[in-house]
Structure 1
């Protein structure tokens, strides 16, 4: 099923991924209304835990972040971060850059993921994503991208898969800040090591491992 909403989460905890109770968490998440898939995330350097989820509609995505998800970090006694994004408005832009969430098969496994979000409010249909995609297609190691448009906020961001962790770091540390500066915006970036979360993500039907 084509996603209608994306959810991003990150928990303020530091734990090696093989010590995280991901199998139990996976079984609970699979029971949540409208859940389609999840890609597990482990923060580079700080070993935070998080995820990028797909849902069948915005209502179920909201229910997830308001109802179920706070129980996970509460069990660890830590704070957390959640975001809900409209997956329909970004479909054409994401498909144009090979997003595996809209039917494109992954050509290879990702080595890393980068999450970005700009502190601005701009309706996605007013953003010249075609020009930005043309530039992104030249970025070394970029495999594919989900464009992100914040529900209610219209924040602008993305979730990008890279061949290697070094390429992801170069994009997040060097390239993306220049993009944010050109838009006069503060920003948020996170880099995640995809190599340690593959098994957990496959168990959650992540489209990045469909091969």
Structure 2
């Protein structure tokens, strides 16, 4: 598949009612749609304007990955209530919501203006969010500056590239390696191979803060191609590196409205 930059069409946000977190957990499986009115802070407005102008590469210095150990259809997640609070977090730029394929976990990939603000988010705000749901959590912080060149070579939407369509699926990967500095790693070898993977639209390379783990956040044109990549191809890549790995597949369709509300770079 040829990877090329174009601007996708946008869909309208859905609205409705939202319960508190514990009510949400009790209602998981009932099919109640949740939403609300978004509160946009000045910091978020500035970030959203930068994203629309393709200027995120000038401001983002860190990525954050999160996943909550819950299982509920995304239309039951009180995403607008959560969005309102995240928009107020220091240094927040954008978020792409994630809904686990097969297990309905909830998470996200975020951009922050600094490592310090990303660390504050994962050590202060997010543990409190998980505690409110009464569930365990996963968080990771990545150096966005170190991976800029490698990601731009893969048409990363996080660095201003406009995709020619909306993603149907996302894949998150992390490999148990220590590669510091990131530029010494094998990204120049793997990028040409990755570009040939069926349905791959874009990749954002990830470099673990302190750990030097190597990973990626990928956009695919279909769930089938995302599964083929994560289940069939990616293990061959990690075998060559002689390393253990972590993969997750996410259905992009249910989270579009929530991601649009958070200035996700994958939707224009």
Match for 1:101 among 155, 158, 166? 158
Q: TM-score with structure 1 length normalisation? A: 0.98
CA contact (8 A) 1:40 1:52 kept: yes
Describe the SS at the equivalent of 1:24: helix
Which stretches in structure 1 are left out of the alignment for 5+ residues?
none
1:195 aligns with 2:195: no
Correspondences of 1:121-200 after superposition (within 5 Å): 121-123=178-180, 124-200=182-258
Alignment partner of 1:72 is 2:129: yes
Q: State the match for 1:24 in structure 2.
A: 81
| Partner in structure 1 of residue 62 of structure 2 | 5
RMSD in angstroms over aligned alpha carbons?
Answer: 0.6
Query: Based on CA coordinates, which of the two structures has the bigger radius of gyration?
Result: 2
* CA distances 1:59-100 after superposition (whole Å, capped 9, x unpaired): 000000000011111111110000000000000000011001
Q: CA deviation at 1:128?
A: 2.4
Q: 1:112 aligns with which of 143, 165, 169?
A: 169
Residue 72 (structure 2) aligns with? 15
Q: Counterparts of 1:196 and 1:59 in 2: how far apart (Å)?
A: 31
Structure 1, residues 113-148: CA drift from partner, whole Å, max 9, x if none? Answer: 000000111121111211110000100000000000
> By percentage of residues, which structure has more strand?
1
Matched residue SS, 1:38: strand
Per-residue Cα deviation, 1:137-165 (whole angstroms, up to 9, x for no partner) = 10000000000000000000000000000
Q: Which runs of 4+ in 1 moved over 2 A?
A: none
Query: For 1:34-45, what aligned pairs fall within 5 Å after superposition?
Result: 34-45=91-102
1:61 to 106, 111, 118: 118
TM, length-normalised to structure 2: 0.78
* CA shift for structure 1 position 18: 0.5
